[in-house]
A and B are shown apart, each in its own frame.
Chain A
Amino acid sequence: KQEVTQIPAALSVPEGENLVLNCSFTDSAIYNLQWFRQDPGKGLTSLLLIQSSQREQTSGRLNASLDKSSGRSTLYIAASQPGDSATYLCAVRGSGETSGSRLTFGEGTQLTVNP
């Protein structure tokens, strides 16, 4: 059974700092990995999706990497801003699944960026 772990559970940084969020998964047979942002009282917004054949994806100040063989992904946020404060979740989609393509989620990292 796939298990996804995110470290740290919470992180507080001063504005402007570069930071890294970590995600690890136990079964390397994945189809893709996705990073989401969740604001309080809101749903999840997709940030980046990395296919299993890719090593990284970039969007603006965000860069996500994937090392499938070691079961790890990182989300790098450059020049953090208070508006980046949210909970960040990673989710993996297994390659062995057919219908449904269910995602297995980590528990999230709660990020606070202080002005």
Chain B
Amino acid sequence: NAGVTQTPKFRILKIGQSMTLQCAQDMNHNYMYWYRQDPGMGLKLIYYSVGAGITDKGEVPNGYNVSRSTTEDFPLRLELAAPSQTSVYFCASRTTVGTGNTIYFGEGSWLTVV
């Protein structure tokens, strides 16, 4: 059972470059999320999706874009990378079926912008 899978695990970007962080889940969860975690801080929500074709902004969406064409995949796009986007990025998912509310996280993607 793979759960939530993120790629790449590590990436170094130059200022102004663009890239996409991939996230896939195999649990048929309808809700998916992208968070960032800065050193010594909690997680902040970037974007989320409540189902295929539906996305919405979280607390810190500037500089990012997302899409949700399938239930399984929720890629995060960084356009014109800036040093302030150096962080650890976590994808997460959960279902709203039944009473379970547990959220499942991927193992993170470490991004450095230089």
Q: Chain A: residues with CB nearer than 8 A to chain B?
A: 4, 9, 32, 34, 36, 41-46, 49, 51, 89, 91, 93, 99-108
Contacts and interface: CB of A to CB of B under 8 A. Distances in A.
Interface in B31-74: 31, 33, 40-45, 48, 50, 56, 58-59
Given A43-B106, A43-B107, A100-B56, A49 B40 contact: no
Q: How large is the interface on B (under 10, 10 to 19, 20 to 34, 35 or more residues)?
A: 20 to 34
A100 B55 CA distance: 9
Q: Sorted from nearest, which 4 A-B pairs have the closest CB atoms? A: A105-B42, A43-B105, A44-B105, A43-B107
Contacts of A51: 101
B84 interface: no
Given A44-B90, A108-B42, A102 B58 contact: yes
B103 A102 contact: no
A45 B105 contact: yes
B98 to A, nearest CB: 13
B108 A42 contact: yes
Contacts of B33: 100, 102
B101 A93 contact: yes
Given A43-B108, A99-B56, A102-B58, A34 B103 contact: yes
A103 B48 CA distance: 11
A83 B83 CA distance: 35
B101 A32 contact: yes
A89 B44 CA distance: 13
B50 A100 contact: yes
Nearest to A98: B50
Nearest to A45: B105
Contacts of A32: 101
B31 A101 contact: yes
